[in-house]
């Protein structure tokens, strides 16, 4: 086992590894290039926008993984299920706010939708804070495996609750976003929906960055992530800071769930599982613990999936996404933007 591991490492570090990787990359590029050329430019752009919209959703989810990992080094396997939970909660408020299919949104509709977003985000955030309090905090000083397994269990618990709530069906999400498509060229167009999704995600990511960079709580979160004891010596209440991190992560996950529901108009209690794995891959790709990395990683995974589906076959999507995960873990475990500052 350890010899095999060492061998993998030495291949990874050596010339041969880089060469093999480069070769594989060339082959992929040539094949992709060929298909792209035969598909035409406007189709390429259409897929680009679709990939970015998808990637924006992955990015929002990846941010939660990365933030929670950054602060307590927990890979929160239940995070993906918060996405679905957020969508379920939002969905419950649609009729109350008069959001039904077939009506033009209008100003009031937009306000109502914003309100539903807010409610879903805050409630999901609150639930995640509760989860942290009862499931993870008591294990904070236990060996790492304990909270990890608890997180896997929590994922099942959340899925179980959602299954009991809505059953195993594909649940329809009202199609209330404008369906207009902007023509791009022969046989290709870009949906206004896609642009809305991208815009919402961009606003959220920029907001998050400003929050973490500028605010007192944001600084406290970074300090706690870097050195918990030192943070306490500054007077930072690390329990509150960690709770805030779970809250924000879940807020972003819920927003992703809402966006995703409105975009695909369907949601199922188990959607969070695969979505979570993809978003986790995105977080690892960008360097887990790294905020910008997670956002970019999300876009990258979204593009890989979109182009893979369009030019190859959607049956293979899982394979290449997880191949990326494995390649990154083997060749560059700190991720593309990973931090290489030595710890202590």
Partner 1 sequence: MALLELEGIETYYGRVRALNGISLSVDTGEVVALIGSNGAGKTTTLRTISGLQHPARGSISFAGQVITGVSAARRVGLGIGQSPEGRRLFGRMSVLDNLVLGSYTRRDRAGIQRDMDRVFELFPRLKERSGQISGTLSGGEQQMLAIGRALMSQPKILMLDEPSLGLAPILQETIFSIIAEINGQGTPILLVEQNALKALEVADRAYVLETGTIVKEGTGEELLHSEDVAKAYLGM
Give yes or no for residue 210 binding partner 1 (CB under 8 A). Answer: no
**Is there binding between residue 104 and partner 1 (CB under 8 A)?**
no
Nearer to partner 1, 224 or 255 (CB): 224
Cβ pair 148, 79 in contact under 8 A: no
The least CB distance from residue 204 to partner 1, in Å, is: 23
Q: Are 157 and 168 in contact (CB under 8 A)?
A: no
CB of 230 to partner 1, least distance (A): 4
* Out of 206, 234, 319, 326, the residue judged to bind partner 1 by CB under 8 A: 234
Does residue number 149 form part of the binding site for partner 1 (CB under 8 A)? no
The answer to whether residue 15 forms part of the interface with partner 1 (CB under 8 A) is no
Distance CA 344, CA 339 (A): 13
User: Counting runs of H as helices and runs of E as strands, what totals does the chain give?
Assistant: 13, 4
Is position 229 an interface residue for partner 1 (rule: CB under 8 A)? Answer: yes
Sign of CA dihedral 293, 298, 302, 304: positive
Q: Toward partner 1, which CB reaches closer, 143 or 179?
A: 143
**CA dist list (Å): 66 to 70, 90, 180:** 6, 24, 35
In total, the chain counts a number of residues equal to 344
Instruction: Specify the 3-state DSSP secondary structure of 184.
Output: strand
Counting contacts by CB under 8 A, is residue 214 touching partner 1?
A: no
HSE (side-chain half, CA atoms, 13 Å) at 167: 4
- Min separation Cβ 75 and partner 1, Å: 21
- Count of residues interacting with partner 1 (CB under 8 A): 21
Pairing label, strands 188-191, 181-185: antiparallel
Q: Which of 223, 275, 282, 303 binds partner 1 (CB under 8 A)?
A: 223
Torsion angles phi and psi, residue 28, rounded to 5:
-60, -45
Q: Within 13 Å of residue 74, how many CA atoms lie on the same side as its CB?
A: 29
Name the residue with tokens 């956002």: 295
The residue among 127 and 221 lying less far from partner 1, judged by its C-beta, is: 221
Q: Is 179 helix (H, G, I), strand (E, B) or coil?
A: coil
Among 111, 233, 319, 326, binds partner 1 (CB under 8 A): 233
Considering the rule CB under 8 A, would residue 244 count as an interface residue with partner 1? no
Residue of 42, 189, 209, 226 interacting with partner 1 (CB under 8 A) = 226
Q: Of these, 74, 162, 190, 220, which contacts partner 1 (CB under 8 A)?
A: 220
Could you tell me which stretch among 97-105, 113-121, 227-235, 313-321 binds partner 1 (CB under 8 A)? 227-235
User: How many C-beta neighbours within 10 Å does residue 71 have?
Assistant: 23
Shortest gap between Cβ of 317 and partner 1 (angstroms)?
35
| Closer of 142 and 170 to partner 1 (Cβ) | 142
Tokens read off for 295 = 């956002």
- Least separation, in Å, of the C-beta of 226 and partner 1? 5
For binding to partner 1 (CB under 8 A), which residues are involved? 216, 219-220, 222-223, 226-227, 229-238, 339, 341-342, 344
């Amino acid at each position: 086992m350890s010899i095999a591991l060492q061998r993998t490492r030495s291949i990874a570090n050596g010339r041969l590894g880089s060469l093999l990787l480069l070769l594989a990359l060339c082959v992929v590029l040539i094949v992709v290039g060929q298909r792209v050329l035969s598909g035409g430019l406007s189709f390429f752009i259409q897929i680009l926008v679709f990939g970015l919209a998808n990637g924006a959703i992955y990015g929002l989810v990846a941010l939660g993984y990365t933030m929670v990992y950054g602060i307590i080094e927990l890979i929160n396997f239940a995070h993906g299920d918060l996405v679905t939970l957020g969508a379920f909660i939002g969905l419950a408020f649609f009729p109350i706010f008069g959001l039904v299919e077939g009506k033009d949104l209008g100003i009031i509709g937009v306000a109502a939708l914003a309100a539903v977003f807010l409610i879903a985000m805050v409630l999901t955030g609150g639930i995640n804070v509760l989860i942290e309090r009862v499931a993870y905090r008591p294990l904070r000083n236990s060996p790492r495996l304990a909270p990890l397994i608890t997180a896997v269990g929590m994922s099942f618990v959340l899925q179980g609750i959602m299954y009991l709530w809505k059953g195993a069906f594909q649940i329809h999400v009202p199609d209330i976003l404008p369906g207009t498509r902007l023509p791009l060229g022969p046989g290709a167009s870009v949906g206004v929906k896609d642009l809305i999704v991208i815009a919402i995600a961009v606003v959220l990511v920029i907001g998050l960055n400003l929050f973490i960079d500028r605010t007192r709580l944001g600084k406290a979160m970074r300090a706690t992530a870097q050195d918990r004891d030192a943070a306490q010596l500054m007077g930072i209440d690390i329990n509150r800071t960690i709770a805030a991190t779970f809250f924000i992560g879940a807020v972003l996950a819920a927003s992703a769930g809402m966006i995703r529901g409105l975009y695909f108009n369907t949601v199922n209690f188990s959607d969070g599982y695969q979505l979570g794995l993809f978003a986790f891959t995105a977080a690892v790709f960008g360097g887990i613990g790294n905020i910008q990395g997670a956002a970019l990683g999300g876009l990258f995974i979204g593009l890989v999936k979109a182009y893979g589906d369009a030019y190859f076959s959607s049956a293979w999507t899982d394979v290449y996404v997880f191949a990326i995960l494995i390649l990154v873990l083997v060749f560059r475990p700190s991720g593309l933007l990973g931090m290489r500052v030595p710890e202590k």
